[in-house]
Amino acid sequence: MEQFYAESEKLLQFIAQSPTSFHVIKNVEEQLKSGGFLALEEHQAWNLERGKSYYVTRNSSSLIAFQIPEQSYQGFQLISSHTDSPCFKVKELPELDADKKYTKLNVEKYGGMLMAPWFDRPLSVAGRVMVWAGDRIRQVLVNIDRDLLMIPNLAIHMNRKVNEGYAYNAQVDLCPVFGDETAKDSFLKLIAEEAGVDKKQIYGMDLFLYNRQRGTFWGAGNEFIASPRLDDLQCLYGSLQGFLEADAPQNISVLCAFDNEETGSVSRQGAGSTFLVDTLSRMNEALGGSGEDYRRLLAGSFMISADNAHAVHPNHQEMADPANRPQMNHGIVIKYNADQKYTTDAVSTAVFRRLCEYADVPYQTYANRSDMAGGSTLGNISNTQASLRCVDIGLAQLAMHSPYEMAGAKDVLYLKQVSKTFYESRIGISHEGIKIETREQESAFMDKKQNT
Ligand code: ZN
């Protein structure tokens, strides 16, 4: 278990340092830079070289990184995940008065969250502000790194039927208390201080509430983890580690981290935007490829859409499909849906199962109950922009979209391992079939199969 714990511990640290999508991207960029990746800007010309690695960001909240092999390549091999999680966004004119004795923050919902667990726990604010810096507007990331806010529950005495179900009203029930009456007019001052500027210099803000509780290991054998934002930072972190450790990719390796999945991916930087197709086509052009080359590359490409999956709930086992019942710590979950909310089909699942076997990583399957609608995720949405063979996968978790979610302590290492194997392999698709070349692993694997 040692290596499993070590990887999960690093995941929990990564999440603790990443309270918003902007911080996620900053931290991913740091890891890429120390791995030798070069930063590209969308508004500048790209001069790309074989054998080098690059990344580009959009809105500071989405990122695409790629490694170009030395030798010839036949496609892109991508893993996508998302940087955002459901939370509350601070509105313009953020302060509200209550009874002239409290100062509250005016917030609105971002994405579809479980509201109840946001109550009665220390929260704070993080995000970005745009500040006037004398000659231009600059972006500054902020994080008030202390227990700053609470959303108090109404006492049971005043809400006797709350345990029979309560319809939360985001405007009435969810405004966090920021201070007493002396806190009036101080919120933006606090943010400005954190940004190292004067309040008057702030011209714009994207600020979000986040849960202050740190990630932890729990369970009789410490077999589980709990943390904010496991959906989907567990997948982003695991695929990033596999991407960074992969040796000598044989196709163009691509890692995508998209913002705004929780609100439907339709934004300038979401999986439904042109960010992916812009980046892939520019990559092809900068490497001297024609329009036909680009379409051939897409036809030879393979994407893994990685977003967390529901484990069977211990108190609501009836909510899971009778046969496809994912468990935490039992490996990568492959997700299926006949309506193609998940992109997995016979072809892509076959490829992914082989990859798991090469990586010696367990896998399991997920489908919704046939009488329940599930959510959709990145794969089918980004396919409307760049059509790629795709499999939808995730890691099993509980309490999805709570500000404190639960998952298995082993699974992030499994994802790292299969991601590494994926990026080191060349998946060749032709009318004769699909070949997965895994750099000497193919023959070693065949030997192992024959010997067992
Ligand atoms: Zn997700």
In 210-345, which ranges are continuous DSSP H helix? Answer: 230-245, 275-286, 291-299
Q: What is the distance between the alpha carbons of residues 369 and 322, in angstroms, rounded to a whole number? A: 8
Residue 99's CATH number: 2.30.250.10
- 441-451 helix and 346-359 helix, angle to the nearest 10 degrees: 80
- Closest by CA position to 249, among listed 72, 101, 11, 23: 72
**CA 80 to chain CA mean position, Å:** 8
The Å distance, Cα 308 to ligand 1 centre, comes to 6
The Å distance, Cα 9 to ligand 1 centre, comes to 21
Element (H, E) at 110: strand 102-110
Q: What is the pTM of this model?
A: 0.95
What pLDDT is recorded for position 335?
Answer: 97
In a domain, 15, yes or no: yes
Q: What is the distance between the alpha carbons of residues 297 and 275, in angstroms, rounded to a whole number? A: 17
What pLDDT is recorded for position 373?
Answer: 83
The Å distance, Cα 309 to ligand 1 centre, comes to 8
Structure tokens at 360: 């010696």
Q: What is the distance between the alpha carbons of residues 422 and 340, in angstroms, rounded to a whole number? A: 23
Structure tokens at 134: 């004398």
In a domain, 220, yes or no: no
In a domain, 158, yes or no: yes
The Å distance, Cα 307 to ligand 1 centre, comes to 5
Domain count for the chain: 2
The Å distance, Cα 261 to ligand 1 centre, comes to 7
Collapsed DSSP state (helix, strand, coil) of residue 228? coil
Domain boundary among 211, 244, 267: 211
The Å distance, Cα 75 to ligand 1 centre, comes to 26
The Å distance, Cα 301 to ligand 1 centre, comes to 23
In a domain, 222, yes or no: no
The Å distance, Cα 112 to ligand 1 centre, comes to 11
Q: Which domain holds residue 96?
A: 87-211
The Å distance, Cα 234 to ligand 1 centre, comes to 10
Strand partners, 143: 126
Q: What is the distance between the alpha carbons of residues 225 and 396, in angstroms, rounded to a whole number? A: 12
In a domain, 139, yes or no: yes
What pLDDT is recorded for position 377?
Answer: 82
Domain boundary among 178, 211, 244: 211
| Distances from the Cα of 12 to the Cα of 6, 35, 47, 217, 422, angstroms | 10, 21, 36, 9, 24
- Say yes or no: 200 and 250 in one domain: no
Longest dimension (CA), the chain: 77
- Say yes or no: 206 and 233 in one domain: no
Structure tokens at 380: 């089918």
- Say yes or no: 164 and 289 in one domain: no
The Å distance, Cα 82 to ligand 1 centre, comes to 7
Residues of the chain with pLDDT under 70: 440-452
- Say yes or no: 204 and 262 in one domain: no
User: For 29, phi and psi rounded to 5 degrees?
Assistant: -55, -40
- Say yes or no: 325 and 358 in one domain: yes
- Say yes or no: 40 and 144 in one domain: no
- Pairing relation of β-strands 252-258 and 76-82? parallel
Residue 416's CATH number: 3.40.630.10
The Å distance, Cα 84 to ligand 1 centre, comes to 8
Q: What is the distance between the alpha carbons of residues 416 and 5, in angstroms, rounded to a whole number? A: 13
The Å distance, Cα 202 to ligand 1 centre, comes to 32
Q: What is the distance between the alpha carbons of residues 449 and 447, in angstroms, rounded to a whole number? A: 5
The Å distance, Cα 235 to ligand 1 centre, comes to 9
The Å distance, Cα 38 to ligand 1 centre, comes to 28
With 0-12 CB in 10 A as exposed, 13-18 as middle and 19+ as buried, what is 347? middle
The Å distance, Cα 305 to ligand 1 centre, comes to 10
What pLDDT is recorded for position 378?
Answer: 87
| Distances from the Cα of 51 to the Cα of 37, 69, 72, angstroms | 11, 5, 11
The Å distance, Cα 407 to ligand 1 centre, comes to 13
- Closest by CA position to 111, among listed 173, 21, 25: 21
In a domain, 218, yes or no: no
In a domain, 6, yes or no: yes
Cis bond before residue 278 (omega within 30° of 0): no
Domain boundary among 211, 241, 266: 211
- Closest by CA position to 261, among listed 253, 272, 250, 245: 272
The Å distance, Cα 92 to ligand 1 centre, comes to 27
The Å distance, Cα 196 to ligand 1 centre, comes to 34
The Å distance, Cα 157 to ligand 1 centre, comes to 37
- Say yes or no: 257 and 370 in one domain: yes
In a domain, 31, yes or no: yes
The Å distance, Cα 232 to ligand 1 centre, comes to 5
What pLDDT is recorded for position 11?
Answer: 98
The Å distance, Cα 66 to ligand 1 centre, comes to 22
